[in-house]
Amino acid sequence: MTLGLKTYTELYEGKMKQREVNYENYKRITHAMILLFICISVCFHLALWPVYGSKTFGLAFATGFGVVLQYMLIFPVVVQNFVGFVGVTFFIQQYAYLG
């Protein structure tokens, strides 16, 4: 869902419709992304807590700032969207195969 909103906003609205993508123009989408990010963070903590216990907070911090943020700063939007699409496709295939 997060990747879909990001792709819609940046590629469709920004590139194809030539609109400036900023907070003033897309407040609702920005707030939806913040809500989704909070939900993702809660799910991440709930999934890791049985295995790592209280170390989950440090692991989430290290993953967010050490991996995700660095990835977003280094690679352009086109690469981020491509890797996101490939990743989502891979995980859907794994889920369908295991299910």
Residue 75: predicted pLDDT? 92
The pLDDT score that the predictor gives to residue 92 is: 87
pLDDT band (50, 70, 90) for residue 12: confident
Length of the chain: 99
Separation CA 66–CA 63 (nearest Å):
5
Predicted structure pTM score? 0.63
Q: Hey, how many other C-beta atoms are within 10 angstroms of the C-beta on 16?
A: 8
Mean pLDDT of 13-36: 84
Instruction: Give residue 63's pLDDT band: very low, low, confident or very high (50, 70, 90).
Output: confident
Instruction: Quickly state the pLDDT bin for 8 (edges 50, 70, 90).
Output: confident
Neighbours of 26 (CB within 10 A): 19
